[in-house]
A and B are shown apart, each in its own frame.
Chain A
């Protein structure tokens, strides 16, 4: 408008147009100076507090970043603050920014995934300031807007020590960087060996360099089993929510402590989902959240033949009674024993048992954390407990509060365990 009026004033030579043009230029200059002063007040009062939920993480892992920003904006000014991401990282959401509220505060929350190992440093923030007439941006990367500096360890440090080629087959593909305290062997020194591993006693004795080879230490992640209820049996939503929340918390803890976790989601003898040695927390949570609802059970274990029970019955009652038989009870037991013998003569293995056996063979485990509401038939739980016992894997059953004492006693009997942890 000023340029148009100025051109008109120069052409016509009218003093009134000159006055209007000059006033507009002066007004624009005043607004520009006011905007700069307002911006200066904002940047001098800017404070940033940034925190990461972990200081050490693995390459490709995820950490949650919270950036709190505060300043003293004048009314009528819009301030948008954006966290500048370190190089070679990904964020979710991709644009980590927020608009500053009227009180001058803003909070940015996002998850960050480093793609390369090393120390990553947050370069600072970017401010975009605008008023109705002007806008400007400023990159604030001085020391007080930087940091923290999480350490990113290389992926190889977290690589699985074993991979699964086939079910039941384990292959050691890389030496573990974690070493135990035990000594596996002693050998002569080769160029490139770690000098800290030199056995000085042997070296002094034989006047040659000897190296200690330590045993590898392995931290085995747990298997988390979530047994979802049958949709035909009404279960309170709060029970299921508690169960899934607790399983999610256990998953997070396992990934934090062990670097990976295995998930086995079932509903009775129906397998819903299996995730083995997963290092990505998001994927585990997605698996749990998407499958965490009552399922229609296509297969049931009601007609499973309890072979151990049958053998026990035969041992107890299966000896033929002397002829002539004394009473009808003897005839009944004899008949049942005959039927059981016939059943035991035919090999019979339920599909679920095979699947559980393959699962337990495919991952190295020390512990199974079992989440269930223990509603309806418990045969599949007994089978899982039996196979865990055979593999010498510790089973930790967990359920939610609200079950009566008799029911818990029956659960203990089915699982063959002393305790059932009740979630509050």
Chain B
């Protein structure tokens, strides 16, 4: 099965960003190895769902390795990894998926700014993560409740 065009594009962006960060970190060989694993995972032949999980897992390791050297390059790699996982189905990509990706990038940028500018990381991280989780739970909960009210019917 041939990898989709959009995925190739995002993988190349992530790989290029990783190569760019090689000069800045101490553990350049780790970045190189994780980048190679990520590229291999993206181009290996297997079922669609397994490929996504593999790309996400190897991509997160790459994000950690790159962010160790450069926090903002790590952020770019993170966005590229999520793009490779999210958009694979068709070209041009679904408008809804593109919107979702854009919202994700903006939210991740805000989170990254908060984490980067804070004096200490733990408290802002917990705060922002809890906010995201609670917002999602409230949204999905209300949505589910509305659907049940509208369609479940009464006795």
Contact = CB atoms under 8 A, between A and B. Distances in A.
Q: Do A and B come from one complex?
A: yes
A404 interface: no
Interface residues of B, number: 51
Contacts of B57: 1
Contact of B115 (A22, A32, A140, A142): A22
A365 B38 CA distance: 82
Given A18-B115, A29-B136, A138 B147 contact: yes
A145 B151 contact: yes
Q: Summarize A's interface: helix, strand, loop or mixed.
A: helix
Contacts of A139: 148, 151-152
B150 interface: yes
Contact of A16 (B63, B104, B108): B63
Contacts of B122: 10, 13, 18
Contacts of B133: 25, 29
A15 B115 contact: yes
A195 B130 CA distance: 75
Given A19-B75, A20-B63, A132 B49 contact: yes
Interface residues of A, number: 46
B121 A26 contact: no
A22 B140 contact: no
Contacts, number: 135
Contact of B153 (A28, A36, A46, A145): A145
Nearest to A28: B136
B68 A16 contact: yes
Interface in A1-58: 1, 5-6, 9-10, 13-30, 32-34, 36-37, 39-40, 43, 46
Interface string A114-141: 0000000000100000001000101111
A142 B152 contact: yes
Given A18-B121, A22-B111, A132-B49, A75 B153 contact: no
Given A17-B64, A20-B60, A40-B147, A25 B129 contact: yes
B57 to A, nearest CB: 7
Contacts of B140: 32-33, 36
A29 B135 contact: yes
B125 interface: yes
12 contacts: A18-B121, A18-B125, A19-B63, A19-B74, A22-B112, A23-B78, A26-B104, A32-B140, A33-B139, A76-B89, A139-B152, A140-B151
Given A19-B71, A142-B153, A146-B153, 14 more contacts: A9-B125, A13-B122, A15-B67, A16-B64, A16-B66, A16-B68, A21-B125, A21-B129, A22-B132, A26-B111, A32-B140, A43-B147, A138-B152, A140-B153
